[in-house]
Amino acid sequence: MLRLHHHPMSAASRFVRLVLGEYGERPDFQEERPWERRREFIALNPAATLPVLIEDSGPPVVGGTVIAEYLDETRGVFQRDKRLLAEKPAERAEVRRLVEWFLVKLENEVTRYLVRERVFKQEMRAEEGGGPPDASAIRAARANLKHHMRYVGWLAESRNWLSGDRLSYADLAAAGALSILDYLGEIAWDQEPLAKEWYLRVKSRPSFRPLLAERVRGLAPVSHYADLDF
């Protein structure tokens, strides 16, 4: 049995949910608000970061990239042409580079700020860091996002899927993170038509449906969010 501790606005959580969906796994979900530092959750992961996966009575598997490696070793390796991590070391390195790009670099330059300022601060109490959004943090994140979208456009132009010929972890990490920014209406898709075409292909996969159906309390998504043809 699998249990995933996650949050709908955590990019790494969305990435892992997509991977589990592609591999046909249906975990139990436990939503965590990491800023609350729930005692049982800190015992699982003293870093208080998401996601955390528990399989049966095994130890916690902590973090998006670590869970992805675990799922490759326990599921992916048996998936033949549906495996989401390539076979050759150099190709695996390229998939992993892009996963880090979207779960670390995009996160540190864009996603973390927009989610904190526009979503989490509404839900946090004042002593947890809640309050009005910081306009300068939002502005800086939006400026950074333009560069990232240009890079996604360049990847989509150069390759069939982001890391090469096949759907891989790179596509799921990128689309998981971008789907959060899209929910918030932050992405100017018309400026990057090839990125949009690629995103529509990922978004149309059955593994994406649960994410598109989900709503954040008090915050409606942009009108095209769940459209498969926008």
Structure tokens at 111: 């996603």
Contacts 24+ apart (CB under 8 A), 94-97: 94/163, 94/164, 94/170, 95/163, 95/168, 95/169, 95/170, 96/65, 96/169
Which of residues 108 and 204 has its CB atom nearest to a second copy in the complex?
108
φ/ψ (deg, to 5) at 4 = -115, 120
Closest CA to 51 of 68, 36, 39: 68
Give the nearest distance from C-beta 171 to a second copy in angstroms: 17
Give the nearest distance from C-beta 13 to a second copy in angstroms: 16
Structure tokens at 122: 């509404």
Give the nearest distance from C-beta 60 to a second copy in angstroms: 8
Q: Which residues contact 26 (CB under 8 A, 6 or more apart)?
A: 2, 20
Asked if 220 interacts with a second copy (CB under 8 A), we say no
Instruction: Give the E-state strand segments of the chain in sequence order.
Output: 2-6, 28-31, 52-55, 61-62
Asked if 66 interacts with a second copy (CB under 8 A), we say yes
Asked if 1 interacts with a second copy (CB under 8 A), we say no
Contact letters for a second copy, residues 104-143 (x by CB under 8 A)? xx--x-----------------------------------
Give the nearest distance from C-beta 224 to a second copy in angstroms: 29
- Among the listed ranges 24-32, 93-101, 115-123, 218-226, the one in contact with a second copy (CB under 8 A) is 93-101
Angle between helical axes of 89-100 and 64-74 (0-180°, round to 10): 150
Cα 107–chain centre separation: 9
User: Rg (Cα) of the chain, in Å, rounded?
Assistant: 17
Which of residues 46 and 206 has its CB atom nearest to a second copy in the complex?
46
Give the nearest distance from C-beta 230 to a second copy in angstroms: 29
Give the nearest distance from C-beta 25 to a second copy in angstroms: 15
Asked if 96 interacts with a second copy (CB under 8 A), we say yes
> Applying CB under 8 A, which residues contact a second copy?
46-47, 49, 58-59, 61-63, 65-67, 69-70, 73-74, 89-90, 92-94, 96-97, 100-101, 104-105, 108, 151
